[in-house]
Structure 1
Amino acid sequence: MSHSRRRGQFRSALTAAATASALVVCLAPSAAAQDHSTDTTVNFSVSNITDFHGHIEQVVDTGDDGVPGTADDTVTEAGAATIAGMVDRLRAAEGIDGHIHTTSGDNVGGSAFTSALLDDEPTLEVLNEMGVDVSAVGNHEFDQGYEDLIGRISENSDYPILGANVTVEDGREELDAYDIQTITDEAGNSVDVAFIGTVTQSTADKVSPSAVEGITFANPWEVTNRIAAELSDDDEGNGEADVVIALLHEGTEPGQFTEDVDVVFAGDTHVQDSEWEGEQPIVLQNLEYGKLMSNVRFSFDTETEEVSMEPAVYTADEMATLAEPHAEVQATVDAAVVKAESAGAEVVAELEHSFTRGARGEEGPGSNRGVESTLNNLIAEAQRSYLEDFTGVEMDLGLMNAGGVRADLAAGDVTYKEAFDVQPFGNDLMYGTLTGADILTALEQQWQDPAAGRPRLALGVSDNFSYSYDPTAPDGERVIQATIDGVPLDPNADYQVAASTFLFESGDGFTALQNARNSQNVGVVDVTAFIDYLSSTENVEPRWGQSDVGVSIDGDVVAGETVTVDLESLIYTIDPTATQVTVRIGDAEASAPIDVTVLDDEYGTSGRASVDITVPEDFSGAGEMTVTTDAGTEVGVPLVESEAPSDNSGSTPGSSAEAGPIGAVVAAIAALAGALGLANVFSGGQLLADFQDTVQREINRLLS
């Protein structure tokens, strides 16, 4: 079977300036197709969406004016009714003998509010109503286990769900590998179109292990190529097809498929991909949530067995311009919205304590993203705990961005809708491996360009994580020491970190988190995990103490000398509980009251105190200072003994800037590292302090 490729009209989905009249042309048969319309030619088209995730409602960006229904409006997610209307338009296009509508998996699971609340029942219904003809299985279809996939999902889908690379043990029913659909024109000419469906091989890492127990996932490209070869080898014994289309729930790269595959509709990675240059196959990937639809128009000559293909890609806004919403689908969506509003009142948890966002001055919760808050920390802990239980992988740290927390949680009953309002953006949860140095850099990136509007964006952290920082230090050098479960972070060690896709994709400027290795998107929406944590955890309490404290020292750290320790970030800006702070160096201890005034800034400085403490007479070389409060805060600060008392002040804790010859040695080595391009080795007070401690100990050992 030979395949010829005829270059046709191809529109980028990002050509936002295209007019409706220009788009209509793409739906009419091209001159090439009309010329090829002989008695032996069958003309048909195949459309595709992917990673729908239950986004059945249309989403509109109201633009700069913020007013719906104006010229500034842009449809960003088509919604099920508009997608169905577009499919109807493609089926009715002039010169088309048949149309097949497909999806590349993740139709359900990780879904938007309305569909998720109703167990994706409305999504399964509208997919049938819009006329999906065939689908690949996605990793999300395994979320509730294989039995749920072949039961509830498959039984309520009027189309085959394909999983050619999915192997099931114990004799259980397996998914079909491929599906062949025949299109026949009025003259009786027919074409057999094969669809091979596969899912990402990393499915086993994206869902709960118990959900895929006894199931293996082979390489999707290899499996697709093998089946495509069988369908193209003229051996009727193993099935034959005239056109082969891969429904691939995985991202793809050039060269992964053979010429036996004509078109690849990819998915899973939520990106756009449009390749129509060079050898076969055409590769198309349509973002997610109904933001794009692609359509390939085929002309197949039954006599010569040649096929020509013309792809087009439509944005959600273009679909809304071209197509009338499908009335039956719209009615299903409207009914689901009403039902979800009622179901949203369901109580999912009961809290004894309130959890709030940060405040600035008297502006109230939510006005300050630069400070630590009980709710931001709670979500970070929930994500760490949930992913640990879900994956069976020990999570060292959970992180959360303050901007992703959009409402507070009051004590008492918590409804589904209230929990959803806290995290409304629908980010997926991920985990990945970061070095200690990456984590330290991410902490440094909390301090941002003041000109950008928010000088600090505080990270929520899980309950097992604490750190100290010097607010007087330069950018990139503020963090003094960080600990996980009380153990100082090792810059060279690896840690498993749980967070949202937003953070791992460097959202809010946290670019260090992009360094994550072996990262896995588990396909669970953040609010789903949050609700599960609230409902399954007994006695959910705020982290009463602070995770981070600002520390700077005025004076020389020398035995017998008194230094002043200036502290900040000792309280939450809503309902502070700490009133007294205690500083300890060895056996020495000193306390002071905390000024609990909530300050009008965005640097996390509220909760200030100054403590005078005398360095113990037996202090020598290096040690640690601890800072605690009566609310439960505890952070450590490594100290290095100064050479002798001096008139200098403002020494940085754990730094060697004022530490005599040790400081000179370290400064010289740091300068050399900078010249060699290794300056990052000395970034942050933590690693610098560790190096100083080592040098000091060795000198003391040699002199003893």
Structure 2
Amino acid sequence: MNRARKFAACGGSLALSALMVAPAHAATNVGDQPIDPALTQLSLVNTNDFHGHFTKDFACAVTTVQREVPGTTFLSAGDNVGGTPFESASQDDEPAIDYLNSLDLKVSAVGNHEFDGGLSDLKGRVQDRADWTYVGANVYRAGTTDPVLPGYKVVEQNGVRIGVIGAVTREVPSLVAKDGIKGLEFGDPVAAVNRVATDLTDGDPANGEADVLVAEYHEGAPSGESSLESQVSSNAQFKSIVTETSPKVAAIFTGHTHQKYAWDGPASTGTRPVIQTDFYASHLGQLTLGYDPARDEVTQYSMTNREVTEPTEACKADPRYTATAKIVDTANKRAEQIGKEKIGTKTAPITRALNDDGTPDNRMRESRLSNLIAQSYVESINKPGRPGGVDIGVMNPGGVRADLGGNDEAITYADAATIMPFNNTIVTKDLTGAQIKQVLEEQWQPEGSSRPFLKLGLSENVTYTYDPNAGDGKRITTVMVDGKELDEKATYTIASNSFLLDGGDNFTTFGEGTNTRDSGLIDQSLFVEWIKENSPIRPPYEKHAVAVTDQPTEVKAGEEFSFTLTGFNMSTTDPNENTQGLAWVDDGPYSGEIGAKAVRLDAPPYPTRDGELKVDLTATGPSRNALVKVRLTETGTTVLFPVKVVAADGPSPTGTTTGSPGDPTGTGSPGDPSGTVSGPPVETGLTGDGSNGATLIGVAGSVTLLGGAYLLARRRMEN
């Protein structure tokens, strides 16, 4: 390969070479050219975050490579079971294990979902049925450095011993129920891989020996849509994987973050592959290494993430494929019988948030389905005969594994079970208002986390504003519960699944709550019950969290004040976006319409936000504690926050804002005593030439009420 081609193959990653602690196992990416025939070819295929998505398509992809390159070794970076679709979950993931056995999976890193049932379940039920070996070099007995799982397995191909070393994310304690991993510690994955790499190359057969080392990390880059450089610079754990993994390791497979990338990692000379293969068996990672026995090292490689397609005629004639396809057919037929029961109906699809490429499961954006589940917790636990007393429902985004989608109005047992496959119990716990605010701050995850932001689903009575540009612990500006400002000294009862309220997903403040009560009710079963009792189910269109920049806390009567709303549109398959809104200070008729600009604000700062709106208001009247309200017309999304109005000749008021006259909840429009914000768009009665709010221009006149003028709103075009 010529010099220019070699540099292009490096993908610009040579700029990272200065970050290396030691020179890496350096090789050359030959791109789409064949490996030098003088080298020993080693063929590896890999999956990660399979999550029980057994399909004939993926089976064909694996068996095709195995047929084209005899001796190909099939590996995994973990999460083979757990968090699985109904077809697998309804049968305790047994079909998923049988499926991977049939495809001759050899070695897998242990993922966090392998611990969903605890260590005993992993080492017993799961490993007993699996023909492959789970490896996890950084899983220790608490207080020791004694691994509880094998750290590696050696497989042989073309006379070369390949040592596959596994490690799992250190975040496991925040990702699974704590009872199942009691007595375990999860150490630094890179340090563990490096320890085993040293053992496998020290010449001592007693602790294992291998010619080529491959690392399987159940941890990875937060995003595959940018560059290796940006991910290394923004995430400490991924930087450690890329730049500090032992130079003895020839290739790095990653997982956990559900991304797709094939990057040339930095080295003193040449590069080494760093790969992740999307999730749910949509792609197959394919890596070929060229091993030089004389130099005892890998000197060339090629890699690709092979897209999974429909089975070919060649596959249908392949005995391994046909045996695997039979497992798929049998499992699907059994699941169909289990799941076909209709449990309710919906008026429209209810979905998770979308990624930029239109795929679902963006856990960093607000989700209608997550909010719906949070609301179901409140209503279910507050039913007569249940523990009751719940003020707020909360849902973690990672617990929502599928959409309540499709055009069919029917909801089946399989639909509900696929959405919530973990079978956690529902727990209630008391938190102070200050702790609730801190929980919302913890949506911005600790530095080095796999995802920098995780958006909690909230019951319909909770809204909040935030400043995306503020520093850690200072982003949440106002929290409203039942139309009243959150009282930081008061106690609120929270309902959610046991995983989240135990402090899962790094929401550690939940773990500090008191008066924990386990309802004994399983989340999946409770959701099924709630759907049956509340059908037809309507999508909750209202957004609970909206960013407000320049949010005022005190304003002078008669003087205009301004603030900007962003992120009031959901990222969903439903195109229902807000294009106009109404604004008030306290109660009284609206004074005009305000146009919303459909614009995407990228991250960082997190989260990404859709929709931007500039609001100008003037409060009049006496000094008082007032409530600013903006209602987005199309969805009913309502933004609330308190301000102190200071009259020109009056003192600043004191006390807490608890709503406004004639609107005790503080969440509705004037003349709406119920305080609800759902329903059709409000008719404004104003004239204008625009077909949408973004085209409205001009200044609305002040609205004078008996007893004083309350507000002035300006309409302006947002370009």
2:66 is the counterpart of 1:88: yes
Q: 1:116 aligns with which of 80, 89, 100?
A: 89
- The correspondence for 1:45, drawn from 20, 43, 46, is 43
Sort the Cα spacing of 1:282 and 1:482 in 2 relative to 1 into closer, same or farther, 3 A.
Answer: closer
1:244-297 deviations in Å (ceiling 9; x for gaps): 111111113331312011111111111123222531542111111222222332
1:84 partner letter: V
Task: Give the partner amino acid of 1:54.
Answer: G
Provide the residue aligned with 2:218 in structure 1.
249
User: 1:291 & 1:374 partners in 2: Cα distance?
Assistant: 25
1:314, distance to aligned residue in structure 2 (A): 3.6
Change in 2 beyond 3 A, CA 1:376/1:164: closer
Q: Give ranges in structure 2 of 5+ residues lacking alignment.
A: 1-22, 221-237, 351-366, 382-390, 425-434, 444-455, 466-476, 498-504, 511-520, 545-580, 594-632, 639-651, 678-700, 715-719
1:435 is displaced (CA, Å) by: 7.5
Q: How does 1:511-526 map to 2 (within 5 A)?
A: 518=506
Which structure 2 residues correspond to residues 299-378 of structure 1 after superposition, within 5 A? Answer: 299-317=290-308, 324=315, 326-345=321-340, 378=372
Deviation at 1:564, TM superposition (A): 5.6
Residue 104 (1) aligns with residue 100 (2):
no
- The alignment's TM-score, normalised by the length of structure 2, stands at 0.52
Cross-structure match for 2:414:
417
Q: Which SS does the other structure have where 1:155 is aligned?
A: helix
Q: Distance in 2 between matches of 1:437 and 1:656?
A: 33
Report what 1:73 is aligned to.
none
Match 2:703 to one of 649, 652, 672: 649
Which consecutive unaligned segments of at least 5 residues does structure 1 have?
12-25, 37-41, 59-78, 93-97, 360-372, 388-393, 441-458, 469-479, 501-516, 523-527, 558-562, 569-600, 607-619, 637-646, 660-666, 668-704
- Asked which structure has the greater CA Rg, the reply is 1
1:3 deviates by: 8.6
Which letter does structure 2 place at the counterpart of 1:145?
G
TM-score, normalised to structure 1, is 0.53
Percentage of identical aligned residues: 28
Which one of the candidate residues 128, 135, 138 is aligned to 1:155?
A: 128
Over aligned residues, Cα RMSD in angstroms? Answer: 5.9
2:251 corresponds to which of 257, 260, 263:
263
Name the CA distance, whole Å, in 1 between partners of 2:140 and 2:298: 33
Query: Is contact 1:397-1:462 (8 Å) kept?
Result: yes
Distance change in 2, residues 1:358/1:322 (3 Å) = closer
Q: Deviations over 1:443-484 (max 9, x none)?
A: xxxxxxxxxxxxxxxx9840542689xxxxxxxxxxx98522
2:292 paired with 1:294:
no
Output one character per residue of 1:160-212: Cα deviation in whole Å (capped at 9) or x when no partner: 111111124699993211111233x5xxxx32211111111101111111222
Q: Indicate conservation of the 8 Å contact 1:101/1:132, yes or no.
A: yes
Kindly indicate whether residue 118 of structure 2 is the aligned counterpart of residue 145 of structure 1: yes
CA contact (8 A) 1:4 1:306 kept: yes
Q: 1:4 to 1:377 in 2, by over 3 A?
A: closer
* Gap change, CA 1:182 and 1:498, over 3 Å in 2: farther
Whether the 8 Å CA contact 1:433–1:496 is kept in 2: the answer is no
Structure-2 separation of matches of 1:438 and 1:213: 28
Query: Residue 409 of structure 1 contacts residue 419 of structure 1 at CA under 8 Å; is this kept in 2?
Result: no
* 2:165 aligned residue: 196
Check the 8 A contact 2:394/2:457 in 1, yes or no: no
Does 2:270 align with 1:276?
Answer: no
Match of 1:110, SS?
coil
1:438 shift after superposition:
8.6
Residue 633 of structure 1 and its aligned partner are, at CA, apart by: 4.3
Q: Per the alignment, in what secondary structure is the counterpart of residue 149 of structure 2?
A: coil
Task: Report the 3-state secondary structure (helix = DSSP H, G, I; strand = E; otherwise coil) of the residue aligned with 2:113.
Answer: helix
Secondary structure of 1:324 counterpart: helix
Q: CA deviation at 1:228?
A: 0.7
CA distance in 2, matches of 1:263, 1:381: 46
Q: Is the 8 A contact 2:51 2:280 kept in 1?
A: yes
Conservation of the 8 A alpha-carbon contact between 1:292 and 1:313: no
Could you tell me how far apart the structure 2 residues matched to 1:602 and 1:263 are?
51
Match of 1:533 among 526, 542, 545: 526
- In 2 relative to 1, CA 341–241 (structure 1 residues): closer, same or farther, beyond 3 Å? same
CA distance in 1, matches of 2:42, 2:380: 47
Alignment partner, residue 130 of structure 1: 103
Kept in 1, the 8 Å contact 2:61–2:308? The answer is: no
Q: 1:33 to 1:467 in 2, by over 3 A?
A: closer
Amino acid at match of 1:416: Y
Partner-residue secondary structure (3-state), 2:301? strand
CA distance in 2, matches of 1:201, 1:439: 18
Aligned to 1:229, the other structure's residue is in SS state: helix
Matched residue type, 2:194: N
149-158 or 535-544, larger mean C-alpha shift: 535-544
